[in-house]
Structure 1
Amino acid sequence: MPVSGATIFINGTTKYCISNDSGKFKIENVKDERFEIVCTLKGYTTLNYLYKKAPKNYAVRFEINPIQNIVGIVIGNGREYLEKTFLNSLLGIVEARNCEVANMNALTFLKPKSVNEIHVSLTEPLIIFNEHLGYMIHVAFNDISITNIQDQQNEMFTWFKPLTSKSSDKIDKWQKAREEVYENSLLRFMRAVYADNLMQRGFQTRFITRIYSNDSAYNHTGVLMKKTNTMLSDAGIIFPDTNRRYIDLLDKKPIPTSNYRIDEEGNEISIQLNNQILQVIRLENANEYSDYKMLPVKEKFNAFYLSTIDNQKIFIEPSGAFYNASDLLVSRLWSHRSLGSKLPVDWIPGVF
């Protein structure tokens, strides 16, 4: 039976449409060859489909199913505490202050009896107004698990709708905020990797190699650091491994993108970190600092870290969208949880 009124969108962008009375929909001007299309409707499960190599004309059919009845429970300090904690985790603690959720009652909290985690479900897409960046964000997911009220897993889908205003001052404020966020964003980094102009855009990257205690080099750290021109790193705080002993060694010199950027067939670009952690630092003049010890303390502190699960490849589109996002581990402001500081991947600097 055709379903009207469903929202269909390209994940992470501003592109969307609403299904008509016949259940049909059309989205035009999708430039990336690899993209994810998502279907949401209140009371139904969220569905998604990833096009890995979309033809010029393509079609997708969604068969959506009603959400089963979910009974939420109040846990610990109560629902209000869980709502605040979840939004801080989703949006970022600072960013959450500039955001307002229009339908908080769409959230359902569940806690399994056997594991120390809380499951969050939605009865309808979450509508968030980000007043700082000037977007309404449509957030959809079927189930998210939060372990120790911090880590989020499973798929989440977003669609951005720019807010409007008759005030030119407010529009200028939104544009300025977007430009500032973009400068240090994962989106800008991914676009720079795709274009292979990382240094020109002010980024430096270094590998962090993790040496485990069962490796013979573990007991000869000093010799290894001299041989590889590395230094001890505190990346274990960022991506800890509580099951084994290890040390992390950071490259003193920045590395070229050729160490992890791969030109795939058909003009596709991917990154593969070879079981290492990638440290990313954003600098105004990246060429001025050829050694990590030369970097200002502020830049060292604000470094970002990327790692992948099981050394999986991450494919990058010209827009800066990347797949498979669930295999990429990201720290600090680039975290998947900092939705309040994210821009749609079809955002263009200088264009409002």
Structure 2
Amino acid sequence: MAKTLLIVCLAILLPCCIYSQVYTIKGKVVNADNGAPVAGASVFLSNTSYGTVSNNNGYFELGNIRQGKYDLIVSFIGFETYNNSLTLNASIDNLDIKITEKAKELEGVTVRQYMKNGWEQWGTFFIQSFIGTSALGLQCKLQNPDAVKFSYMKKDGLLYVDAMEPLVIENKALGYTIRYQMESFVYNFNTKALFYAGYPLFTEMEGSKSKQNKWEKARANAYGFSSLRFLRAVYRNHLVQDGYEIFRMDRLPNTEKRLWLAREKNYYDTVSKTRTIKNFAATLAADSVPYYEKIIRQKDPIEVVHPGKVTGDDIAYGADSFTAALDFQQCLIVRIPALMNPQEYVESFRDASSSQPVTSVVTLPNQKPILITSNGYFYEPEDLMLEGFWGWWEKMSAMLPFDYRPKEE
């Protein structure tokens, strides 16, 4: 099949030696309105450790960058954030970046009404959702919590979080200081879905040789659990070699449960008009209670796992010479038999066990393939949904930059 041939060719055309090639990005930051150079602008590649500041003449240089796709970000107080996606397979010498001043009439305008005591009410929830509850998360600290503002829309069940300045996270577990320019953070309490987006810049902490060795070991361990490693394995068509077991899964509506609940809701509404109900089961006929309890325990939707493992050729193909496409229907169960669930995960989920292998569910909610480059960069972020272990693990405390490579790679 064409897909099989393309992914095989991709693996052959892009051998490991391509990772040793490095490139440079040089350019100038100017004011879009008058062409004046902008000094002191922060210039960095999102989710990497490549970052610098423009000099007095607006010039900047980023060097030793590996081949791949990146988001080039330029930010400066009073200007709109500049974002440009670059596929880097050669050096760029004269990049002209024009940044636009924020509209003055919008200064000081609050788009959403922020809560006066938002941090007291939502601070812990935000830290757990954004930084995480793993052992790594316990060693992370948000340095500027006062920059975080909360807005809760009770009617819609939505929590919005905005940052008035880049968030600074000190990750002592992995040895990084992360400067995160948060663009959006929304949690939906109805669907239990979290979406956040932003531009992180990683800076390695300084420390003794023993600390550096400890951090390197911790990074390699975190990498083994990460979706970053999985996406790189997809790109290289190395899923089996890298120890992944993948199965297809369908989610089917539980028609019996939905019909029964709809019928009983009508009954509940009728009864509640005449008296107060504290225990709905007590209002049912005696022979209906066991069936009620059985129905309540059932899952909706019903998850049906297909027999037989999925290979890389079944779900990915070469989109072009530098990009692989991950494309599938329904859901994928991704299992790593060599890794067991950590204790913190087990404590967070009743159905989890420390004797079970790490297992995640991957879906393409918009039914569009995601495109992956060699460094694990993928786009668009909203086209990939992670559940299960990765839904819990993939937080800022476990995040690694795209330029991170374990020694074995």
Q: If the length of structure 2 is used for normalisation, what is the TM-score? A: 0.68
* Residue 91 of structure 2 corresponds to residue 80 of structure 1: no
1:278 is matched with 332
2:400 aligned to 343, 346, 349, which one? 343
Q: Within 2, Cα distance between the matches of 1:102 and 1:70?
A: 26
**Where does structure 1 differ by over 6 angstroms across 4 or more consecutive aligned residues?**
none
TM-superposed CA distance for 1:245, in Å, is 5.9
1:106 aligned to 122, 126, 147, which one? 147
Q: Within 1, Cα distance between the matches of 2:47 and 2:77?
A: 20
Q: Within 2, Cα distance between the matches of 1:255 and 1:91?
A: 32
Aligned residue for 2:206, secondary structure, equals coil
What letter matches 1:259 in structure 2?
D
Q: Within 2, Cα distance between the matches of 1:112 and 1:131?
A: 34
List per-residue Cα deviations over 1:155-181 (Å, max 9, x = no partner): 32211111111x222222111111111
List per-residue Cα deviations over 1:35-77 (Å, max 9, x = no partner): 21112334554332223577642625242444732556336x7
* Residue 231 of structure 2 corresponds to residue 176 of structure 1: no
Q: If the length of structure 1 is used for normalisation, what is the TM-score? A: 0.78
Contact 2:372 2:379 in 1 (8 A): yes
Distance change in 2, residues 1:337/1:73 (3 Å) = farther
1:59 aligned to 91, 95, 99, which one? 95
Q: Within 2, Cα distance between the matches of 1:43 and 1:118?
A: 27
Give the paired residue count.
Answer: 309
Q: Within 2, Cα distance between the matches of 1:102 and 1:38?
A: 22
1:247 is matched with 302
What value does the CA root-mean-square deviation take over the aligned residues? 3.0
Contact 2:68 2:375 in 1 (8 A): no
Point out the structure with max Rg over C-alpha: 2
1:306 aligned to 350, 356, 362, which one? 362
Q: Within 1, Cα distance between the matches of 2:159 and 2:171?
A: 25
Gaps of 5+ in 2: 1-30, 32-36, 256-298, 340-352
1:263 aligned to 294, 311, 318, which one? 318
Distance change in 2, residues 1:42/1:106 (3 Å) = farther
Aligned residue for 2:59, secondary structure, equals coil
Overall identity of the aligned pairs, in % = 23
* Residue 204 of structure 2 corresponds to residue 162 of structure 1: yes
Distance change in 2, residues 1:272/1:89 (3 Å) = same
2:83 aligned to 36, 40, 48, which one? 48
Gaps of 5+ in 1: 215-243, 286-296
1:135 is matched with 176
Q: Within 2, Cα distance between the matches of 1:50 and 1:263?
A: 20
TM-superposed CA distance for 1:126, in Å, is 0.5
TM alignment of 1:116-265, pairs within 5 A: 116-148=157-189, 151-165=193-207, 167-212=208-253, 246-265=301-320
TM-superposed CA distance for 1:112, in Å, is 4.5
1:28 aligned to 53, 63, 67, which one? 63
